[in-house]
A = this chain, B = another copy of it.
Amino acid sequence: QMPRGNLETVHHRALVLAQLRKQLDSLKFREAFECMRKLRINLNFIYDHNPKVFLENVETFITQLNSINHINLFLTELREEDTTATMYPRPLNVPVPSPMPRAKKVDVVCDALRNTMEAMDPDKYCLSILTSHVKKTVPELEIALQKVHDLRAKPPTAAGAVGAEEALKYLLFLVNVNDLYDHSLGTYDFDLVLMVAEKSQKDPKEYLPFLNKLKTLETNYKHYTIDKHLKRYSKALHHLSKCGEEHFPEALGLVREQKLFSEALDLYPADSPQYKTLSCAYAEHLVAQQQPEQAGLLLWRCGEPGRALQAFVSASSWRHALCVAQQVPLPPDQLALLARDMAEKLIDQRRYAEGALLLDQYAKDCEEAISALIRGAVWEEALRLAYRHNRQDIIETDLKPALLEAFASHSSFLENHTALFCRHRKRLSVVLELKEKARLEMLDEDGPDCPDAELYSEASSVMTNSKYSHSNSRISSRSSKNRRKAERKKWSLKEGSPLEDIALLHALADIIGTVDKIREELHSLLKALVLFQYDRQARKLQLAYEEALLMMEAAIPEVWQEGAPQSQTPITGPDSTANSIMASLQHQQRPTALPLPGQWSRSRVPALSPSPWR
């Protein structure tokens, strides 16, 4: 070896790498390896330079190195990083090698080297083979231990071959002793465990009692105990499930503790009492997780209709609840009571049609059913039930007054929303005009070719943001839904707030969405009004809706598109510079980027106009 220190020769890295590339290309691995060690060049380069060539010449590489230590050095230095992309970039004249398979590089190299060494001489390369197991992305400690164990059982005959003792010592040098001990336990092979434990300088008083206790256990229970000790809960459950019924409570506890419900159900036959117990436990868990419907399904299928019914009712899963109730079977009066309860709940959730079905078919109370449908503005269905049960009197007493009420409320809804839309729109044009004025004033101050224009606009946007950065950081941990809500809040509609224009755009889009959404409801109301000769009201309502839609449609291009006031200044022209264009684009893109209300499309506007009652 050369003497080190200040007098060490200076090597130009580019020259060295060029030299190394040549050596590797001509498969002079030994020379390259020596050079790299000397000059501390990362050994990964041997592979990275041309992975394909390396993998095709692994045997040459091993033969040339001809040293367990050197091979181990190479293996232990392996990293996922591609050194030709990071430390030693390829010059332009060096061709890029064909891309390698997606598998992890370290695993590929370890496997290739090990396979070759095992084919060449497993005894000789014993320690390197162990290294290749340990160095894999997920270290194969069990296999390495097994190999050591095999060495002890059948000591190698060749001279100079490594014995079990030495191999184990080497393993302990590579791997943390506690990891190795755990993994030896995980093989369920007590010889191996003892072998490791003896080398581990662990206190025999500590591990021997545990091992001795384990030895007395039945095999499956022994494996379970070990798995649990190693926190391999799925495996533990698997073994425990084979230990017979007397251990089932223990299994149930494990399942509950580790939430292994779904795996547990796979381990017991569906008709066993254990399966049922597990299903119930699972259902309890699901109820606690606010998933009562799924709990109900589990309870029902494992033959617990009573509890299933409870779960379905609390999930408002009324169809399932009724099935279970009729399977039990519940006596008619109780069924009616159940139906009435659920209907009430559904109606509270504005699921009027479903509630009405329950009242009509199960509680046999058509009057209540029709009244629910009228409350929910489900006019046609209300009418159907009235005729089906020959209760046309309800039409006069309830339906018609409700229709007139619905007419009034829809009229004022349209009036209010149209007025609000106009107000917001007017205010928006004022705000945009003010902004445009401010922008022009700023540009004027800077002169037309000022290179700082972009800088200014960036700075101003930063300032606008910083005002809210505090409140943002406060909510960063909340759910994304909350975050979006908070995001909207910061666009305040208050006059003069910094993002008032965006707030107005969102408010306008919201109104369009809301007004557009009542289309179906309005259509069915119009039909009902016409049926009962309320032509005047129908005509008025239809006209109001049409006008609202047309007004909003007419506003869309002005509010959202390029006709908007802020783009009146042309962005390109003889005087424009790169920065002025960018600045004006940045200015423009904000309002344009806001999406139009998704539901809205030009083709949907005339939907009502062919109706006859104009």
Name A residues whose Cβ lies closer than 8 Å to a Cβ of B: 261-262, 265-266, 270, 282, 286, 289, 291, 293-294, 297-298, 300-301, 319-320, 322-323, 326-327, 361, 380-381, 383-384, 386-388, 390, 392, 480-481, 527, 530-533, 535, 572, 576-578, 581-582, 585, 595, 598, 602-603, 610-614
Tell me, in angstroms, the Cα distance from A319 to B385 when the chains sit together: 9
Q: Which residue of B lies closest to A317 (CB)?
A: B380
Q: Would B387 and A326 count as touching, CB distance under 8 A?
A: yes
Q: A380-B319, A603-B480 known; A301 and B532 CB under 8 Å?
A: yes
Q: Which residue of B lies closest to A613 (CB)?
A: B262
Tell me, in angstroms, the Cα distance from A262 to B282 when the chains sit together: 64
Q: A270-B533, A577-B578, A578-B581 known; A286 and B612 CB under 8 Å?
A: yes
Tell me, in angstroms, the Cα distance from A163 to B173 when the chains sit together: 130
Which residues does chain B contribute within 8 Å of A392, judged by CB atoms? 327
Q: Would A319 and B585 count as touching, CB distance under 8 A?
A: no
Q: Would A266 and B535 count as touching, CB distance under 8 A?
A: yes
Which residues does chain B contribute within 8 Å of A297, judged by CB atoms? 527, 530-531
Q: Would A387 and B322 count as touching, CB distance under 8 A?
A: yes
Number of copies: 2
Q: Would B602 and A380 count as touching, CB distance under 8 A?
A: no
Q: Would A614 and B262 count as touching, CB distance under 8 A?
A: yes
Tell me, in angstroms, the Cα distance from A535 to B323 when the chains sit together: 21
Those 3 A-B pairs whose CB atoms lie nearest each other, nearest first: A323-B387, A319-B380, A319-B384
Q: Would A265 and B383 count as touching, CB distance under 8 A?
A: no
Tell me, in angstroms, the Cα distance from A298 to B282 when the chains sit together: 58
Q: Would B319 and A383 count as touching, CB distance under 8 A?
A: yes
Partner of A384, one of B261, B294, B323: B323
Tell me, in angstroms, the Cα distance from A286 to B527 when the chains sit together: 14
Which residues does chain B contribute within 8 Å of A390, judged by CB atoms? 326
Q: Which residue of B lies closest to A576 (CB)?
A: B578
Q: Which residue of B lies closest to A263 (CB)?
A: B614
Q: Would B320 and A380 count as touching, CB distance under 8 A?
A: yes
Q: Would A602 and B480 count as touching, CB distance under 8 A?
A: yes
Tell me, in angstroms, the Cα distance from A585 to B289 when the chains sit together: 49
Min Cβ gap A588→B in Å is: 11
Partner of A294, one of B262, B320, B480, B612: B612
Which residues does chain B contribute within 8 Å of A282, judged by CB atoms? 612
Which residues does chain B contribute within 8 Å of A298, judged by CB atoms? 530, 612
Which residues does chain B contribute within 8 Å of A361, judged by CB atoms? 388
Q: Would A261 and B294 count as touching, CB distance under 8 A?
A: no
Tell me, in angstroms, the Cα distance from A533 to B610 when the chains sit together: 51
Which residues does chain B contribute within 8 Å of A611, judged by CB atoms? 291, 294
Q: Which residue of B lies closest to A361 (CB)?
A: B388
Q: Would B262 and A300 count as touching, CB distance under 8 A?
A: no
Which residues does chain B contribute within 8 Å of A291, judged by CB atoms? 610-612
Name 26 interchain pairs, CB-CB below 8 A, sorted by A: A261-B612, A266-B535, A286-B612, A289-B610, A291-B610, A294-B611, A297-B531, A301-B530, A301-B531, A301-B532, A301-B533, A319-B381, A319-B384, A322-B384, A322-B388, A323-B383, A323-B384, A323-B386, A326-B388, A326-B390, A480-B602, A572-B578, A576-B578, A577-B578, A578-B578, A598-B598
Min Cβ gap A331→B in Å is: 15
Tell me, in angstroms, the Cα distance from A210 to B207 when the chains sit together: 127
Min Cβ gap A418→B in Å is: 18
Q: A297-B527, A612-B291, A614-B262 known; A320 and B383 CB under 8 Å?
A: yes
Min Cβ gap A47→B in Å is: 27
Which residues does chain B contribute within 8 Å of A595, judged by CB atoms? 595
Which residues does chain B contribute within 8 Å of A300, judged by CB atoms? 531
Pick from A392, A582, A602 the residue with the most CB of B within 10 Å.
A582
Tell me, in angstroms, the Cα distance from A371 to B533 when the chains sit together: 40
Q: Which residue of B lies closest to A392 (CB)?
A: B327
Min Cβ gap A9→B in Å is: 41
18 extra A-B contacts, CB within 8 A, seeds A320-B380, A578-B578: A262-B614, A286-B612, A289-B610, A291-B611, A294-B530, A298-B530, A301-B530, A319-B380, A319-B384, A322-B384, A322-B387, A323-B387, A326-B390, A480-B603, A576-B578, A577-B578, A585-B585, A598-B598
